[in-house]
Amino acid sequence: MKVVIIGSGYVGLVAGACFAELGHHIVCVDNDARRVLALRNGVIPIYEPGLKEMVKANVAVGRLSFTEDLESALNGARAAFIAVGTPPRPTDGHADMKSVYAVARAIAEKASGDLVVVDKSTVPVGTGDEVEHILKSANRPFRFAVVSNPEFLREGAAIDDFLRPDRVVIGAEDGWASEIVSQIYNVESFKCASMLHTSRRSAELLKYAANAFLAMKITFINEIADLCEAAGGDIRDVADGIGLDSRIGRKFLNAGPGYGGSCFPKDTLAISKIARDYRVELRTVETVIQVNQSRKRAMALRVLDACNGSVQNKTIAILGLAFKADTDDMRDAPSIPLVQALQDFGAHIRAYDPEAMDNARKIFSNVTFCGGVIEAAAGADAVVVMTEWNEFRHINLNTLYSRMASSVFVDLRNLFSENAVVAAGFDYWCIGRKNAVAQTLRDPLAVQRRTAAI
């Protein structure tokens, strides 16, 4: 089937490459001429494992192409997916729908026949109604229908998530449109656990609700990690025990510096704004947003504690800048407030990330970007692990220790074995596990003993 994908960013490019891999004829449309030219030449604007190779292979066999010409792309197509950005509006936090509606108007003008228009972008409830109104108001002699088909892609695992998803959600008000989208996914090589047919508005809400729930799960385990540190527990054991409950599950129970990226921050904010428009208060979601923002900057205070209360004129090596491993995405990355706070406290920052440094250079100033872990740590007073890159798991800790000016090792992802780090000579600070200094300061019994002694 010929399918058009409008928007060649993260979602659009992954969807286009994967649909082509499934055997469809895919035309990706983008209004950025430089991006289109780069994609035609095999230059991928984002880092996603396996994506470059998949794009190259499908372009080579003629199943995937890129163009700025929407009209020619729509000729003969049976479905057009809208996959453009919906970032928060700076004025009020609501999702900015300008691009989605502009694409809808362009489709209405350029379509050459009956067409199913599919919202792949994450959009507020009721967006499909407005897109349908735009299409039908153009008074073209064609049949238009709008479907909501939200994506559930994890950055760093997007291809596997697309080709072997937990579920595919098809939100439609028209049986013909629902059947077209079902046919796009219903190919022999596609491995889907469940195909869920819903109303269009249910599908729109489902996406936001799923991301809000996962964000709450992350924020919950981070707060339990703080309790573990204070009370002498080990967050790894607690998370494993919680995760064995089939009602909960182990995923998204890894304590860390807070969530970031392109989805959770904007989607939790958007669903809270949508709820208020409907006079509903999502207090749990609003609290999650506040706690997560506070946690990110609070990570800098952990580094200060590890450095005896001051980083003034000290050199801090930051390992990992992307919001998670296997991506170059710096959107709302926890590294941003950490670095800025440490700089506010007078630190000099040296940083390394396997993929995100080009994007990081657009954000940070007065940061020394390095070509590897050892280079970043050279002469540093402390090293801080911010992103769980697999490359970092294989650091030679003895070599790292020998190149540093001091012995402070702050692991904000619990990536390392405490025994291994301490054996190399480091003072090890982590998340949600007993630290002798931190626990002594916070333990109620220890406080009582100190008070009695005074």
Type of residue at 242: I
Of 213, 324, 205, nearest to 262 by C-alpha is 324
The CATH number of the domain holding residue 134 is: 3.40.50.720
Of 93, 124, 87, nearest to 278 by C-alpha is 124
Tokens of 30: 């983008």
Strand segments (E) across 218-364: 315-319, 348-352
Q: Please report whether residue 450 resides in a domain.
A: no
Count structural domains, the chain: 2
Type of residue at 158: A
Same domain? 97 vs 237: no
Question: Residue 191 has what pLDDT?
Answer: 87
Same domain? 221 vs 156: no
Type of residue at 188: E
Q: What is the pLDDT of residues 224-237, one digit of tens each?
A: 999 999 999 999 99
Identify the residue whose tokens are 């990992």.
Answer: 320
Same domain? 332 vs 413: yes
CA dist., res. 117 & res. 101, Å (int): 12
Positions of the chain with pLDDT under 50: 436-442, 446-447, 449-454
Of 153, 265, 152, 148, nearest to 212 by C-alpha is 265
Contact 15, 9 (CB under 8 A): no
Same domain? 45 vs 193: yes
* Alpha carbon distances (Å) from 61 to 41, 52, 183: 15, 15, 22
Q: Please report whether residue 174 resides in a domain.
A: yes
Same domain? 168 vs 240: no
Q: How many residues does the chain have?
A: 454
Catalytic residues: 263
Q: Please report whether residue 206 resides in a domain.
A: no
Same domain? 191 vs 252: no
Same domain? 178 vs 220: no
Element (H, E) at 303: helix 283-306
Of 21, 299, 46, 28, nearest to 164 by C-alpha is 21
DSSP state of 446: H
Q: Please report whether residue 453 resides in a domain.
A: no
DSSP state of 362: T
Same domain? 231 vs 345: yes
Q: Please report whether residue 220 resides in a domain.
A: yes
Q: Please report whether residue 351 resides in a domain.
A: yes
Please identify, among 170, 198, 226, the residue that sits at the C-terminal boundary of a domain: 198
Which alpha helices (H) appear in 138-247, and where do they start and end? 158-163, 175-185, 200-231, 235-243
With a CB cutoff of 8 Å and minimum separation 6, the contacts of 154 are 161
Residue 102 structural domain? 2-198
DSSP state of 263: S
Q: Please report whether residue 94 resides in a domain.
A: yes
Q: In what order do the strands lie in the sheet with 382-385?
A: 367-369, 348-352, 315-319, 382-385, 408-411, 427-429
Q: Please report whether residue 207 resides in a domain.
A: no
